Amino acid sequence: MLSSVEGRTVGFMSVDALALHDEAAGDAYRPRHLLMCRPEYFAVSYEINPWMNTTIPVDHRRALKQWDRLVRVYEALGHRVEIIDPVPGLPDMVFAANSGLVVGGQVYPARFRFDERRGEEDPYATWFAANGFTSHGEAAFINEGEGDFATVGGPAGCPPGKKVVLGGFGFRTDVASHDEVRARLGVDVVSLRLVDPRYYHLDTALAVLSDDDIAYNPAAFDEGSRAWLRTRFPHAVLIDDADAAAFGCNAFSDGHHVIVSEGATNFASALRDRGYEPVPTDLSEFRKSGGSVKCCTLELRGANPS
């Protein structure tokens, strides 16, 4: 049942109530540093993925309210949210996750596949430079940032703090970019092939819940990638077709709270069973463009990531 405090309702609990749950999170919870872009110019004005349909209009006022609510959720949970100024003519700039991958204070910047999104590269690069993130120049290969890169902990036996990047490819990101990430950021990269065009980015097919726990939609990957995921994450949450289509995988976790599309009901139940606190959130307007919670959220990992 929905609850509301001062008219601010998010999923099954109010924004105000969320802050009260921090103390219950325990050691699993870690506050995050995030980058987001307000959807002042958000629209579906072109079609570059199967979800986009220019004949279905976006309710711009509703999109703004949904995005503002997401920011309030993050802030209520103790996360620090930075806001980059939107640019006219760049309707998908709201999807900040696609702008790059940030690990250890270094950013591997996006180089978008489609011309419609290439204009996002410079504003984000300027923001990263102005805020102290090192980029080592433009990317040489096509990649769409955290849309196709997800950061997890190293396997058993690795040094504490060791990070491994899961790299998606097959639709938007060239697999050659994975070697560039290895060289620039000094992390291991595991390449995972996406095979369903509906799940064209890794973050539409897989969600990181903690360093050692993920959720994913097996049907979105080829058999070799599924085999690796089964071996590395044998207890992963498997997302069913209905929840995948509701953008359940496009979730953001701080290690305890999982902000997830409110339509992914089976996933939310599985999260509760595992001790996570699901926070169902309505971002239905952004699903018209093929995005949801994670697409709107870039994690800024600092010089000493944990």
Annotated catalytic residue 295: yes
CA distance 305 to 213: 17
Catalytic residue among 37, 249, 295, 296: 295
Phi-psi region of 29 (alpha: psi -120 to 50; beta: other; left: phi over 0): beta
Count of other CB atoms within 10 angstroms of residue 211 = 18
CA distance 200 to 209: 20
Amino acid (1-letter code) at residue 194: L
Query: Which residue shows structure tokens 């044998």?
Result: 234
CA distance 248 to 259: 10
CA distance 132 to 106: 9
Catalytic residue among 201, 249, 256, 296: 201
Query: Which residue shows structure tokens 């969600």?
Result: 207
Burial class (CB in 10 A: 0-12, 13-18, 19+), 193: middle
- Residue 301 is encoded by which pair of tokens? 């990992």
What DSSP element (H or E) covers 280? Answer: strand 277-281
Burial class (CB in 10 A: 0-12, 13-18, 19+), 304: exposed
Closest by CA to 98, choosing from 260, 296, 285, is: 296
Closest by CA to 168, choosing from 117, 211, 113, 124, is: 113
- Residue 157 is encoded by which pair of tokens? 């036996």
CA distance 63 to 206: 24
What amino acid positions are annotated as catalytic residues? 201, 295
